[in-house]
Chains A and B, each alone.
Chain A
Amino acid sequence: MPKEKEVQNLSEVTVRFAGDSGDGMQLTGSQFSDTTALMGNDLSTLPDYPAEIRAPIGTVYGVSGFQLHFSSNDIHTPGDRPDILVAMNPAAIKKNISELKPGAMIIANTDSFDRKNLQLAKYETNPLEDNSLEGYEVYPVPIGSLTAKALQGTKLSPKEIARCKNFFALGLMYWLFDRPVDQTMNWIQKKFAKKPEFIEANTNALTAGYNYGENTELFNTRYNVEPAKLPKGIYRSISGNEATALGFLAASVKSKLPLFLGSYPITPASEILQYLSNYKNFGVKTLQAEDEIAGITSAIGAAFAGNLAITTTSGPGLALKTEAIGLALMTELPLVIVDVQRGGPSTGLPTKTEQADLLQAVYGRNGEAPVAVLAASTPSDCFNMAIEASRLAIKYMTPVILLTDGYLANGSEPWKIPHVNELPDIPVKFRTEKEGFAPYLRDGNLSRPWVKPGTPGLEHRIGGLEKANTTGTVSYDPDNHDLMINLRAQKVKNMVNDIPDLTVDGDMEGDLLVLGWGGTFGAIKEAVIKVREAGYNVSQAHLRYINPLPKNAEYVLKGFKNVLIPEINLGQLSKIIRSEFLIPVKQLNIVRGLPFRVSDIENKIIAILGGKE
């Protein structure tokens, strides 16, 4: 009988699963996350994988990682430094060691620490044996061979058996953190419904991993993380891309407009197209276009035809769509463009996160082409902002850009699911009255009428050439052009009366306001909490509407001696804030393709408040 294991209570843990890109680390991580969410913990995840689908085995650049931060408290980031690394091979250690917390636990698959893999990871000696991991708690587990043993007698080939080892590792982690295996068991049943031999093998591997923890002398302690005290409600775990897709589906239902998505696959935005292609029974039409330009222009066609039209992309795709965004603006059609920002410029870091498309979104077009720009702040906020972007586009008959990013897109968090009847309706009015009709008439919001082709008597022409206000005929009149330029700009400015004020977490005035936008919300929030715990007074505000800026933004910012803007770019919001309000701002810019570490922001805040900056 194994001796009774000690149970230690923890308030929060950061785990990173790492292995070859074919090792199934994303799957392992997301399964662990789903189970952890079901256990009632608050959590935040960060998948971090190479752009290569199956990068050469064993290499450092081929390492795929999945980080998960879970807690019995409210948390906002995937964690700065892991407490535990599950390393499926030497390269996983090489790549991650510098990021681990001092004294972190490393569970290493010893089977892959052979000469070849050590060489591929550029280790001269085995780190598990040469004392180089002194200071860490290393648990050597022959995951590969234990999996093979557990699957003896199955019909699977040795290669297929080897691919089950991630479930062994997952089982072991479930044991270590006292989580049930049921959720994953159910998932395996569903996933491999047509391949019973894989159900058996993966289930056995999972159970074997769990039992190994129970029986081995290696682990003496299990860890318990109590459920978090989240507001009452029904929850699910959701990623930003899924939330974005569901947000548009909801906007379609609440506006009673059919949803049309024109899109071209691009990392990390493709999933939105994938998710939405599932909802055919809502009448959703997803068109996988021949290129980025056809993605947006087909959506413009659909908007003209009377649909809730959207297009989804990432930075390079937004660049390609630029001219068409101008067309949507000029023809005054409602359109939502989603840019899931990734590392740039050019192809950049396709699978990594960044916030460097802000100026492209706000300014990047020929001519005076003001476009509303919104930015989601957390994975689940993508749902709200997709609805908001749709609402504003329809009401003001103009394109709206919604910015998310790779971290939001792939990261997940628990989401208190709203009921459909709690979501606001999106009013839509199609013009049908013939009397007094002109295509560029203006309503109180300065929006022109939306007419569905097929409406008798309202046949009209729109286009990219400048139009005479009201009549919509082609016009080269200088004064009309000046008028139209201003009208189009005013429509976007008018939205300021239609968006929420900027809220401040903390005092309304003081020494320092940390102002963020988009996906950095969690990291800034956590940094602010930490420095407050250390006795500092600091306030936080976060922009989800960037063009136009909230009405009270200037007032809020001017209440503070210092404004710090952390961004994963070289200071793009800082530029906008300076130029809009003529106030000095302090910048924190780290562009590593990764979310901010909380400590980076913390240190900067303390430096400013300590008078060192």
Chain B
Amino acid sequence: MADQMIEVKEIKLTAKDFATDQDVRWCPGCGDYSILAQVQRSFPDLVGIKKENIVWISGIGCSSRFPYYMNTYGFHSIHGRAPAIATGVKVSRPDLSVWVAAGDGDLLSIGGNHFIHACRKNIDLKVLLFNNRIYGLTKGQYSPTSEKGKITKTSPYGSVDYPFNPVALALGSNATFVARSLDRDTKHLHEMIKRAADHKGLAFVEIFQNCSIFNDGAFDILTDKKTKDDNVLVLEHGKPMLFGANKDKGIIMDGAKPKVVEIGEGKHRVEDVLVHDENDESPMLATLLAHLTDDPAMPTPIGVFRQISKSTYDGDVEEQIASVKNKKGEGDLEKVLFTGSTWEVN
């Protein structure tokens, strides 16, 4: 057969190659469209990952329909369990690139336990959180990321729940890559998806996603031309934390507290401003940045909060197997069965 082999050149895939024949059934104006588009656009650029080696796993919720729209291997599972299913896929098949698409209810409420443990174990998963701060598929109940006081169908007098800060939760669970982006900032989102793909270990990306039906405009302040510059702090490694249309605002430390100051003559100097260090071994800076979001007087950071290098669970499992095989030799069932205290009956 060798003579019949044809030299096949690697053909560069395009976004279209990652689209399926299924009609996308999200509501008009849903932020999920933008996320899907950016994923499909960035995937052809992923280095060293073949399309057939990509697996998308989801749970339940609007965003969990995601795998149906990606022409890769996909598994639309049950509510909250995507990280656990993805764990099984990745640990049993470390050669696969395993992605999780999850909403805020799916990942942080019913699936919270799986999420924190996947982070803790540093399983090499890419987890995209589509955070719209509402339950969409069940038609508008408050979620674990809804702000306190939010009026929804199940909180007509205002929600009394305190919300989770997903970035802080991921950092607290020792995720090795933690980032945030916006559905409407397509360039930034594209970049974050690629950064997550390149990370070896659990990569978590919180994406603020607009639900046009039940929580429309939740992130307008971060996406509207008029307000975004004053409210979004774009984190860049090694760069001072400046924001504002003219980059005339910055974050400085006032004792142990971050503070917004104005930069310019007679004001603060750029040199005074905090410089971002994604790779800091200590989670202190990243955690501090994560909590800026909790304070309405502070800008909301987007970008990579933290990226550290640590061995992965799935990699360590492989290594352990190799080392035991090396020590004991390949398993021999006959030997195992007949090992121990045996006796013969004649």
From B68, B113, B344, B346, A291 is in contact (CB under 8 Å) with: B113
> Per-residue 0/1 for B86-105: is the Cβ within 8 Å of any A Cβ (1 yes, 0 no)?
11111111011000000000
Measured between beta carbons, the chain B residues less than 8 angstroms from A461 are 20, 67-68, 73-76
From B92, B341, B343, A40 is in contact (CB under 8 Å) with: B343
Known: A233-B345, A418-B337. A281 touches B93 (CB 8 A): no
Known: A183-B341, A280-B325. A473 touches B22 (CB 8 A): yes
> Per-residue 0/1 for A250-268: is the Cβ within 8 Å of any B Cβ (1 yes, 0 no)?
1001000010101000000
Centre residue among B72, B113, B343 by max chain A CB count within 10 A: B343
Residues B67 and A230 in contact, CB atoms below 8 Å apart: no
Name B21's closest neighbour in chain A (CB-CB): A473
Residues B53 and A260 in contact, CB atoms below 8 Å apart: no
Known: A37-B343, A456-B50. A309 touches B320 (CB 8 A): no
The interface-forming segment of A11-19, A98-106, A298-306 is: A298-306
From B91, B92, B331, B337, A417 is in contact (CB under 8 Å) with: B337
A582 lies within 8 A of chain B by Cβ: no
Residues A285 and B76 in contact, CB atoms below 8 Å apart: no
B213 lies within 8 A of chain A by Cβ: no
From B91, B113, B320, A298 is in contact (CB under 8 Å) with: B91
> Per-residue 0/1 for B309-346: is the Cβ within 8 Å of any A Cβ (1 yes, 0 no)?
00000000100110011011111011011101111111
From B76, B84, B88, A463 is in contact (CB under 8 Å) with: B76
Q: What is the CA–CA distance of A453 and B60 in the complex, to the nearest angstrom?
A: 22
Residues A294 and B114 in contact, CB atoms below 8 Å apart: yes
B78 lies within 8 A of chain A by Cβ: yes
A237 lies within 8 A of chain B by Cβ: yes
CB distance from A416 to the nearest CB of B (A): 8
From B57, B321, B334, B344, A280 is in contact (CB under 8 Å) with: B321
* B:197-220 near A, CB below 8 Å: none
Measured between beta carbons, the chain A residues less than 8 angstroms from B78 are 297, 323-324, 326-327, 464
Residues A463 and B331 in contact, CB atoms below 8 Å apart: no
Residues B52 and A457 in contact, CB atoms below 8 Å apart: yes
Q: What is the CA–CA distance of A37 and B342 in the complex, to the nearest angstrom?
A: 9
Residues B338 and A417 in contact, CB atoms below 8 Å apart: yes
Q: What is the CA–CA distance of A514 and B247 in the complex, to the nearest angstrom?
A: 86
B249 lies within 8 A of chain A by Cβ: no
Residues B88 and A235 in contact, CB atoms below 8 Å apart: no
* B:136-183 near A, CB below 8 Å: none
Q: Return 22 A-B CB contacts under 8 Å, by A number.
A: A227-B345, A249-B331, A280-B325, A281-B321, A283-B321, A283-B325, A283-B331, A294-B87, A294-B114, A294-B117, A299-B88, A301-B87, A301-B88, A302-B93, A304-B88, A304-B89, A305-B88, A305-B93, A419-B337, A420-B337, A461-B74, A464-B77
* A:459-501 near B, CB below 8 Å: 459-465, 473-474
Residues B329 and A253 in contact, CB atoms below 8 Å apart: no
Measured between beta carbons, the chain A residues less than 8 angstroms from B74 are 459-463
Residues A474 and B68 in contact, CB atoms below 8 Å apart: yes
B55 lies within 8 A of chain A by Cβ: yes
Measured between beta carbons, the chain B residues less than 8 angstroms from A417 are 337-338, 342
Measured between beta carbons, the chain A residues less than 8 angstroms from B67 are 461, 463
From A302, A324, A418, A463, B91 is in contact (CB under 8 Å) with: A302
Q: What is the CA–CA distance of A164 and B242 in the complex, to the nearest angstrom?
A: 71
B40 lies within 8 A of chain A by Cβ: no
Residues B92 and A297 in contact, CB atoms below 8 Å apart: no
Measured between beta carbons, the chain B residues less than 8 angstroms from A249 are 331, 333, 336
Measured between beta carbons, the chain A residues less than 8 angstroms from B329 are 281
Q: What is the CA–CA distance of A331 and B331 in the complex, to the nearest angstrom?
A: 32
Indicate the size class of the contact surface on chain B: 35 or more
Q: What is the CA–CA distance of A420 and B68 in the complex, to the nearest angstrom?
A: 43
From B52, B60, B84, B338, A301 is in contact (CB under 8 Å) with: B84
Residues B333 and A250 in contact, CB atoms below 8 Å apart: yes
Residues A307 and B92 in contact, CB atoms below 8 Å apart: yes
Q: What is the CA–CA distance of A454 and B337 in the complex, to the nearest angstrom?
A: 34
Q: What is the CA–CA distance of A217 and B44 in the complex, to the nearest angstrom?
A: 88
Residues in A lying within 8 Å of B, measured CB to CB: 34, 37-38, 40, 183, 227, 230-237, 246, 249-250, 253, 258, 260, 262, 279-283, 285, 287, 289-291, 293-294, 297-307, 309, 323-324, 326-327, 331, 416-420, 452-465, 473-474
Centre residue among B51, B52, B84 by max chain A CB count within 10 A: B84
Name A230's closest neighbour in chain B (CB-CB): B345
From B72, B85, B91, B328, A304 is in contact (CB under 8 Å) with: B85
Residues B77 and A297 in contact, CB atoms below 8 Å apart: yes
CB distance from A258 to the nearest CB of B (A): 7
Measured between beta carbons, the chain A residues less than 8 angstroms from B231 are none
Residues A463 and B342 in contact, CB atoms below 8 Å apart: no
Q: What is the CA–CA distance of A297 and B113 in the complex, to the nearest angstrom?
A: 13
CB distance from A6 to the nearest CB of B (A): 28
CB distance from B210 to the nearest CB of A (A): 25
Known: A297-B77, A305-B89, A324-B78. A459 touches B52 (CB 8 A): yes
B131 lies within 8 A of chain A by Cβ: no
Known: A250-B333, A307-B92. A301 touches B86 (CB 8 A): yes
Name B334's closest neighbour in chain A (CB-CB): A420
Residues B84 and A289 in contact, CB atoms below 8 Å apart: yes
Q: What is the CA–CA distance of A232 and B331 in the complex, to the nearest angstrom?
A: 27
Centre residue among A280, A298, A458 by max chain B CB count within 10 A: A298
CB distance from B116 to the nearest CB of A (A): 8
Q: What is the CA–CA distance of A477 and B293 in the complex, to the nearest angstrom?
A: 46
Name A465's closest neighbour in chain B (CB-CB): B76
Name B117's closest neighbour in chain A (CB-CB): A290
CB distance from B15 to the nearest CB of A (A): 15
From A279, A324, A326, A418, B336 is in contact (CB under 8 Å) with: A279
Q: What is the CA–CA distance of A358 and B321 in the complex, to the nearest angstrom?
A: 37
Name A187's closest neighbour in chain B (CB-CB): B341
CB distance from B158 to the nearest CB of A (A): 32
CB distance from B73 to the nearest CB of A (A): 4
Q: What is the CA–CA distance of A256 and B324 in the complex, to the nearest angstrom?
A: 19
Residues A38 and B341 in contact, CB atoms below 8 Å apart: yes
CB distance from B257 to the nearest CB of A (A): 35
CB distance from A42 to the nearest CB of B (A): 10
CB distance from B18 to the nearest CB of A (A): 10
Q: What is the CA–CA distance of A250 and B22 in the complex, to the nearest angstrom?
A: 42
From A262, A281, A454, B53 is in contact (CB under 8 Å) with: A454
From B50, B75, B114, B327, A331 is in contact (CB under 8 Å) with: B75
Residues A285 and B87 in contact, CB atoms below 8 Å apart: no
B122 lies within 8 A of chain A by Cβ: no
Q: What is the CA–CA distance of A262 and B87 in the complex, to the nearest angstrom?
A: 10
Residues A281 and B324 in contact, CB atoms below 8 Å apart: yes
